[in-house]
């Protein structure tokens, strides 16, 4: 009996990849379980689902745990950490919806590099621009410059496209800095050096070590 059991386990292990391949046409590489893949590693997106399919959120890391929610392609989530299990990996996430749901998902279906399928457009990408502007939202946010201890208010205008965005930030003197946002990363349109870190739900973005902007997640994602 002791000899038969290891053989059965080995056969089950060898057969499982074939089943997974048939059901999962797009395989997302496992994340670095101990690293930070982006400036804002917390914000990932659901990526690679079969059209019309959903990603179950479970109460624990495995298919034996009960389903407590569901996600669609492109939905943003906070990645709270991943662990290897049963030859794959599961990630603990929380949603940005209110009320937020926290649970576990198959790690193959979340990524910090989400790209929309060719020719597709989600309904929330069709957000109307504000009349008389080119932006989906406008307002002010905190900003500061090197050598000036004062924190002032910069006007912003943002154009959103799913998990992507373009942000124009204007200082009180009229100078405008244009940034892009893609899956957790900020970049300057003119190629300037950009660094960012998170303080709760706010990204502190510094350009060329001289300009600093405090950009809330709500502004970028449109919640």
DSSP annotation string for the chain:
-TTHHHHHHHHHHHHHHHHHHHH-SS-PPPP-TTS--STTTTEEEE--PPTT--EEEESSSSTTSPEEEEE-TT-EEEEEEEEEETTEEEEEEEESSSS--EEEEEGGGEESS--PPTT---GGGGPPPPTTSS-SEEEEEEEEETT----EEEEEEEEEETTEEEEEEE-TTS-EEEEEEETTEEEETT---EEEEEETTEEEEEETTTEEEEEEHHHHHT-
167 forms bridges with which residues in the sheet?
Answer: 158, 179
pLDDT score recorded for residue 129: 85
Q: Are residues 8 and 54 in the same domain?
A: yes
pLDDT score recorded for residue 49: 80
Q: Range of 88's domain?
A: 4-111
Structure tokens belonging to residue 15:
């057969």
Contact 95/34 with Cβ under 8 angstroms? no
Of 85, 111, 137, the one marking the end of a domain is 111
- The answer to whether residue 80 is domain-embedded is yes
Task: Give the global pTM.
Answer: 0.53
Q: Are residues 40 and 132 in the same domain?
A: no
Q: Are residues 130 and 42 in the same domain?
A: no
Q: Are residues 84 and 167 in the same domain?
A: no
pLDDT score recorded for residue 1: 43
Structure tokens belonging to residue 198:
């998170």
Q: In CATH, what number is assigned to the domain containing residue 81? A: 2.30.30.40
Contact 38/198 with Cβ under 8 angstroms? no
Q: In CATH, what number is assigned to the domain containing residue 151? A: 2.40.128
Q: Are residues 79 and 9 in the same domain?
A: yes
**Cα 90 off chain centre by:** 16
pLDDT along the chain (223 residues), means of 10: 42 40 41 44 75 90 92 87 79 86 89 57 58 92 88 92 84 94 80 87 91 90 71
pLDDT score recorded for residue 76: 86
Contact 33/83 with Cβ under 8 angstroms? yes
- The answer to whether residue 116 is domain-embedded is no
Q: Are residues 102 and 129 in the same domain?
A: no
What Cα–Cα distance (Å) separates residue 206 from each residue in 19, 145, 182, 213?
47, 9, 16, 6
- The answer to whether residue 180 is domain-embedded is yes
pLDDT score recorded for residue 7: 40
pLDDT score recorded for residue 67: 95
Residue the block writes with tokens 């990603």: 55
Of 87, 111, 135, the one marking the end of a domain is 111
Q: Are residues 72 and 158 in the same domain?
A: no
């Amino acid at each position: 009996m002791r000899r038969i059991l290891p053989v059965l386990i080995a056969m089950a292990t060898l057969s499982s990849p074939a089943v997974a391949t048939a059901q999962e046409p797009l395989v997302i590489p496992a994340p670095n379980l101990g690293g930070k893949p982006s400036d804002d590693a917390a914000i990932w997106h659901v990526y690679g689902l079969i059209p019309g399919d959903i990603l179950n959120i479970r109460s624990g890391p495995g298919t034996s745990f009960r389903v407590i929610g569901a996600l669609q392609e492109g939905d943003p989530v906070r990645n709270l950490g991943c662990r290897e299990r049963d030859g794959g990996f599961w990630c603990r996430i929380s949603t940005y919806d209110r009320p937020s749901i926290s649970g576990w998902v198959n790690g193959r279906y979340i990524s910090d590099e989400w790209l929309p399928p060719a020719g597709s457009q989600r309904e929330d990408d069709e957000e109307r621009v504000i009349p008389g502007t080119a932006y989906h939202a406008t307002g002010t946010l905190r900003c500061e410059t090197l050598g000036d201890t004062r924190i002032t208010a910069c006007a912003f205008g943002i154009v959103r496209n799913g998990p992507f965005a373009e942000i124009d930030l204007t200082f009180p003197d009229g100078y405008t800095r244009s940034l892009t946002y893609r899956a957790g990363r900020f970049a300057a349109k003119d190629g300037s050096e950009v660094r960012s870190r998170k303080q709760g739900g706010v990204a502190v973005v510094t350009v060329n070590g001289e300009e600093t902007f405090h950009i809330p997640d709500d502004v970028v994602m449109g919640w």
